[in-house]
Chain A
Amino acid sequence: MTQVSADDVRHLAQLSSLQLSDKEIGSLRDDIVNILNYIEMLAELDTENVTPTYQVTDLENVWRNDEVENNSITREQLLALAPEAQENQVRVPKVL
């Protein structure tokens, strides 16, 4: 059985940039434990000397010419998507 504490869940939430309520922490803790217990079954598989699979196409080094593509999307269009923009830049709260 995998042990996961409420503090572990808070740490995971922090890693994931999720500000969760205490109620959410509690119910997610239970879900995470149940899911981890299910996936535990992999432990019984012998994977000694097995190469991991990270992709299935076998494509490698798909190159393209380093050319600037004509793109129809304008800076104005992209800035208009930002929740807050000012003087051609995206605005965020003070960082420092």
Chain B
Amino acid sequence: MTYISSLVARIKSGQVTAREVIVEALAKADEKKAYHALLSLTSERALERADDIDARIQKGEPVGALAGVPFVVKDNFLAFGAPTTAASKILEGFEAPLQATAVEKLEAEGAICIGKTNLDAFAHGGSTENSAFGPTKNAFDQMKVAGGSSGGSAVATALDIVPFALGSDTGGSIRQPASFNGVIGVKPSYGAVSRYGVVAMASSTDCIGCFAKSASDAALITDIMSGRDPRDMTTLPDFFKPTHVKPAQKIGVIKEFMTDDVDEEVRARTSEYVEKLRQAGHVIEEVSMPSVKYALAIYYIVVPAEVSSNLARYDGIRYGNRANDVKTLAELYGKTRDQGFVTENKRRIMIGSYVLSSGFFDAYYLKAQKARTLLIQAFDELFETYDALIGPVAPTPAFNLGENTDDPVKMYLADIMTVPASLAGIPAISVPGGESATGLPIGIQLMGPVRSDASLLALAESMEGNQ
């Protein structure tokens, strides 16, 4: 289904105005306030942009492929019309002087950002409970977590406030909330979409991607966002071509993702999806990837190291909030950062400082980067034989609010199946795979070699009719 293209067709043909669409989306956002998916609305700017698009359509002037389509962005994307807080106190009220490239590209096609969504502060977390402004509730059960860190974007899409939303995925932050809320979540190949104007977390794994209700919608959005950006030197030349896809033939089921550590219902839904792939004519084989066992340990060295460096810039000097009543510069830094960060931010900064400090660097950081090479080699070997790999996204469906907040390691374990793709820089998507007995969505993860993003989405699309 192409929900977005049919909405654009209705707007362009005058069946509905862009203003009506935006007014309706804003009303829906208000009606669903209890879920706390959104931190702010950009109503004024959104309505102005809608009127501009309506005027152009009336005059017969060209409008883009996303003319009048409302969307929301995770609040770590710099965007005009509302503050960019990264769900933190240190950036509360920060009005960005520029916009993220991803937002600019979507706006150039006529899409209209209507608001900013909730996240774990600085994207540190897997439940959106680390937001300085309170958690987001799961779209299917308000007692459950939204997942995270892009929980607000997943829930806004699931609740049909908007047809698509943007998020960032450093270790699973798009895929896991997509799984918990029954929508598609795309983590593209590393470097596919510019990171310019998005609050940096871990620069070597940060990826920008989208949430949508169908694979073809997700492909449309990814196609528009991807490509080289002179403002992000890690971007790859545009390779995303939805029309030039390689149909998947051989698909490997990762054995290590189907152990007893993974919830029984999650395994059952995954096996059912695999069976449907088999019926659709794909060759399915079980594959083993022993090194995935180490992925989470690698991740929790590499990522905090990069976090400690990237978060050094929040010092209360040039922008953001500054602690009051300080006498010295050291006190200014120390108090500002203590007050501005949530506990999880501090935890990761401190772990990062630890693994990078002299005497420990070789044992932790260097060791992890070597282990990362072994993990990438294991993926490369499998992709010589298999076009795609499959497994669950998360070990469980959405858990209860408050259930894992006191145990950081337990919370980290929720990322165990999403971090391998992040460390390897390969594309990975979460597709809806049915529900648990209690009605909670369960996502299936498809992974492919670098630059196979469009083929993965085509595979997901080919399966949508079979659900």
Q: Tell whether A68 is near chain B: CB-to-CB under 8 Å.
A: no
**Within residues 1 to 47 of chain A, which ones have a CB less than 8 A from any CB in chain B?**
9, 12-13, 15-21, 24, 27-28, 31-32, 34-36, 38-43, 45, 47
Q: Which of B135-143, B259-267, B345-353 contacts A (4 or more CB under 8 A)?
A: B345-353
Cβ–Cβ contact A31 & B347, under 8 A = yes
Cβ–Cβ contact B351 & A53, under 8 A = no
Partner of B409, one of A38, A47, A95: A38
What are 26 of the A-B contact pairs (CB < 8 Å)?
A16-B349, A17-B312, A18-B334, A18-B338, A19-B333, A19-B334, A24-B338, A24-B343, A34-B408, A35-B347, A35-B408, A38-B300, A39-B368, A42-B367, A43-B367, A45-B374, A47-B371, A51-B370, A52-B373, A53-B376, A56-B425, A57-B234, A59-B233, A81-B94, A93-B328, A93-B329
A15 to B312, CA, bound (A): 10
Partner of B373, one of A38, A53, A84: A53
Cβ–Cβ contact B367 & A53, under 8 A = no
Q: Tell whether A70 is near chain B: CB-to-CB under 8 Å.
A: no
Per-residue A-contact encoding for B350-373, CB less than 8 Å = 1, 0 else: 111110010000001011111111
Cβ–Cβ contact B326 & A93, under 8 A = yes
A15 to B350, CA, bound (A): 8
Closest to B237 in A: A59
Number of interface residues of A (CB under 8 A): 49
Contacts of A95 in B (CB 8 A): 329
Give the size category of B's interface with A. Answer: 35 or more
Partner of B374, one of A47, A55, A56, A81: A47
A45 to B256, CA, bound (A): 17
Partner of A24, one of B236, B346, B354: B346
Cβ–Cβ contact B354 & A36, under 8 A = yes
Q: How far is the CB of B126 from chain A (nearest CB, A)?
A: 15
Q: How far is the CB of B261 from chain A (nearest CB, A)?
A: 14
**Within residues 77 to 93 of chain A, which ones have a CB less than 8 A from any CB in chain B?**
77-78, 81-84, 90, 92-93
Q: Tell whether B337 is near chain A: CB-to-CB under 8 Å.
A: yes
Closest to A59 in B: B234
Cβ–Cβ contact A82 & B374, under 8 A = no
Partner of A78, one of B97, B316, B329, B357: B97
A21 to B338, CA, bound (A): 9
Contacts of B437 in A (CB 8 A): none
A18 to B333, CA, bound (A): 7
Residue positions of B touching A, CB distance < 8 A = 94-95, 97-98, 190-191, 204, 230, 233-234, 236, 293-294, 296-298, 300-301, 308, 312, 315-322, 326-335, 337-338, 341, 343, 346-347, 349-354, 357, 364, 366-374, 376, 408-409, 412, 424-425, 450
A36 to B294, CA, bound (A): 14
- Most B C-beta atoms less than 10 A away, residue of A17, A31, A43: A17
A52 to B376, CA, bound (A): 11
Cβ–Cβ contact A19 & B349, under 8 A = no
A82 to B322, CA, bound (A): 9
Partner of B371, one of A42, A84, A92: A42
Cβ–Cβ contact A38 & B350, under 8 A = no
A19 to B328, CA, bound (A): 13
Query: Known interface pairs A56-B190, A59-B234, A82-B319. Does A51 touch B350 (Cβ–Cβ under 8 Å)?
Result: no
Cβ–Cβ contact B350 & A28, under 8 A = yes
Cβ–Cβ contact B374 & A50, under 8 A = yes
Q: What are the 9 tightest A-B residue pairs by CB atom distance, in nearest-first order?
A: A19-B334, A56-B425, A52-B369, A83-B322, A47-B370, A81-B319, A17-B333, A50-B370, A62-B233
Partner of A52, one of B294, B297, B349, B370: B370
Query: Known interface pairs A82-B318, A93-B329. Does A17 touch B334 (Cβ–Cβ under 8 Å)?
Result: yes
A9 to B172, CA, bound (A): 29
Q: A45-B371, A59-B191 are in contact. List 12 more A-B contacts (CB 8 A).
A: A12-B353, A17-B337, A28-B346, A38-B297, A38-B300, A39-B297, A39-B301, A50-B371, A51-B370, A52-B370, A92-B329, A93-B326
Cβ–Cβ contact A19 & B191, under 8 A = no
Cβ–Cβ contact A77 & B97, under 8 A = yes
Cβ–Cβ contact A13 & B350, under 8 A = yes
Contacts of B354 in A (CB 8 A): 12, 32, 36
Cβ–Cβ contact B337 & A19, under 8 A = yes
Contacts of B191 in A (CB 8 A): 56-57, 59
Q: How far is the CB of B296 from chain A (nearest CB, A)?
A: 8
Contacts of B95 in A (CB 8 A): 81
Q: How far is the CB of B371 from chain A (nearest CB, A)?
A: 5
Q: How far is the CB of A46 from chain B (nearest CB, A)?
A: 9
Partner of B346, one of A18, A42, A45, A50: A18
Contacts of A93 in B (CB 8 A): 326-329, 331-332
